[in-house]
A and B are shown apart, each in its own frame.
Chain A
C-alpha cells in the first residue's frame, strides 16, 4: 500500500534555531516528492519538488533532501522565523494514470520567540 509517514507529528523550536522534518514513503513506482507549507486557515503552498535524480533542492531557508534508495526525505529549515509556524506536508507522486499524489499527515511546527 502506498503510504507517506511524517515525523515528528509536532515540533516547537525557538526563533533563530534550525530544525529538520522527516518523511518516509512506500510509494511505487516513484515519480517525485513534494514539500508543501500550510499556514493556519490557508491552502498548502509548494516549497520544493524533487525527482528521482535530485538529492537536494533549496528554496530560501528551506532545503529538502531525497534518498530514493532508502525512500526518505527531509526538510531542513535554517534560522527559523515566527512566520515558519505552519504545517509542513510531504507528498509523493507515483507514476499512474490520473492523479496519484499520496499526502502525509503533516508536521506542525511552532516557532516561539
Chain B
C-alpha cells in the first residue's frame, strides 16, 4: 500500500521562484492536510481540506496556496519562495476531518531549501 505519496522528496529553490508540492493518497480519505516541520518546533498546519472542493487556512498560511484537485490529490504552491519557507513539508490524510478518533496518515515529506 502506497498510503500518502509526496513529490518531490527534495528541492532547492532560489528566492522568488515558485513551485508546487504534490500529494496524493490512495486510501479514499476525505480530509487532507499540509504541515511544515522546522527544527525545535512542532508540526504546524498550513492549510487543510476537509473534503473535496473545500480548503481552509491553518496556523501558518501566509505565502502559500493550495488546490484540492480531486479526492486523491492536494497540492501546495509557493508563489514567490522566501528563505523563511525553508522547511520540511508533510502531507497527511484522514478518513474525515481530524478531531475524531482517527490517526492521520503522513507522507515522508518534501525537504525544501530556499537560497
Contacts and interface: CB of A to CB of B under 8 A. Distances in A.
> What range describes how many residues of B lie at the interface?
20 to 34
Contacts of A101: 45, 98-99, 104
B33 A105 contact: no
A100 B90 CA distance: 17
Interface string B92-103: 100001111111
Contact size range, A: 20 to 34
25 contacts: A32-B101, A41-B108, A41-B109, A42-B108, A42-B109, A43-B4, A44-B90, A44-B106, A45-B106, A46-B103, A49-B101, A89-B42, A89-B43, A93-B98, A94-B99, A98-B56, A99-B33, A99-B45, A99-B97, A99-B98, A101-B45, A101-B99, A103-B43, A104-B42, A106-B42
Interface of A: 4, 31-32, 34, 41-46, 49, 51, 89, 93-96, 98-106
Interface of B: 4, 33, 40-45, 48, 50, 56, 58, 90, 92, 97-109
